[in-house]
Amino acid sequence: MPSGHETGKHLDPLGLGNLFVVYVVWGSTFLAMRIGVRPGSGFPPWLLGGTRVLAAGVLLILIALILRRRTRLTTTQTWALALSGILIWVTGHGVLLWAEQWADSGYAALFIASFPLWAALYDAGIDRVRPSGRLIASLVAGFAGIVLLMLPELRSAGGLSPLVLFGLVIAPITWAAGFTIQKRHVRGVDPLVSAAYQHLAAMPLFFVVAFAAGEPTPDPIAEAWLAWGYLVVFGSVFAFTAAHVALNRLPVRIAMTYGYVNPVVAVALGHVVLSEPITVWTLGGAGLVLVGVYGVFRDRGLPTGAQVASAAAVRGGS
């Protein structure tokens, strides 16, 4: 049965507006992360991640308190936010930061773009519903677009170690798992509050890993500090909160489509800021990405077996 924010073929405008923020801002964070962890001029990756989630978590909880948002959680909400925060930030974002010491930001985006597929598969497995042919085709088209978009980087990435490649594969799998847990088990929590708890829950593990890895005291250059500040303020406080709003007000498979759009934004920014060329590969990949996103949006109008059963149960009890 559609939620209160999705009726028929209509999607919640506030959810779509926040999803657009995520499309644009998170598309730029791949570049910021790459600048932030460049060897010799940036932060060690786990220390960057730990200080980022600490600063962002404190800012988010302060804003929530100033705005008089409810900060008390149930036991279920607390555990769900803690687990999803660790999956999203430590095994997702933290592993990505570590891998971007060697992997190009565009190449990393190629792997991260697979997480809408994982989210759709998680939903289908939990609900015991087979994904529709339209949804599968749309996800495949979107992923094929990312491959086409990033093909030059893919061809030049042969020097990456198997461990780095494994990290790039694991990051989107755990990221999608974290958002799926949040979507299903965190209800009625203000987006500022839920984002704050997720950041703060992940923070201790970042510092534990940094200590275990023997990361040195950071000595970042000014550009790395700017990248860190951008990740805290725009990547976390604004965009991560916007992602929470989108996830609360939109179907999970639609909220997850930012994984396809972010790399397109990253390529466009690279062209404007760094004069990176836009080739026929770029245009073809971007076209397939848009086809995939359109297909996922269209698929929302086709009820799954679980939705039909739920609607029938409600009608029977009314």
Token digits for 280?
Answer: 């026929």
Q: What domain count does the chain have?
A: 1
Question: Does 135 reside within a domain?
Answer: yes
Contacts of 178 (CB under 8 A, 6+ apart): 83, 84, 85, 86, 87, 88, 92
Alpha-carbon distance of 109 to 111, in angstroms, equals: 5
Q: Check: CB of residue 8 under 8 Å from CB of residue 2.
A: yes
Question: Does 275 reside within a domain?
Answer: yes
| Per-residue pLDDT tens over the stretch 188-240 | 889 899 999 999 999 999 999 999 999 998 889 999 999 999 999 999 999 98
Contacts of 71 (CB under 8 A, 6+ apart): 61, 64, 65, 193
Give how far the C-alpha of residue 112 lies from the chain's centroid of Cα atoms, to the nearest Å.
8
Q: What is the DSSP string of 155-217?
A: HT-TTS-HHHHHHHHHHHHHHHHHHHHHHHH--S--HHHHHHHHHHHHHHHHHHHHHHTTPPP
Rg (CA), the chain: 19
Give the pLDDT of residue 277: 67
| Per-residue pLDDT tens over the stretch 62-78 | 999 999 999 999 999 99
Question: Does 96 reside within a domain?
Answer: yes
pTM above 0.85, yes or no: no
Alpha-carbon distance of 211 to 234, in angstroms, equals: 27
Region 33-38: mean pLDDT is: 88
State the residue range of the domain holding 157: 14-305
* Residue 187 CB coordination number (10 Å): 12
**What residues are paired with 7 via a beta bridge?**
10
Question: Does 146 reside within a domain?
Answer: yes
Question: Does 312 reside within a domain?
Answer: no
Give the pLDDT of residue 171: 93
Region 150-155: mean pLDDT is: 68
Highest-scoring range by mean pLDDT, 141-145, 193-197, 244-248: 193-197
Distances (CA, A) of 209 to 84, 94, 98, 107, 204: 18, 10, 11, 24, 9
Question: Does 9 reside within a domain?
Answer: no
Question: Does 289 reside within a domain?
Answer: yes
Question: Does 310 reside within a domain?
Answer: no
Region 134-153: mean pLDDT is: 80
Give the pLDDT of residue 43: 94
Question: How large a percentage of the chain has pLDDT more than 70?
Answer: 86
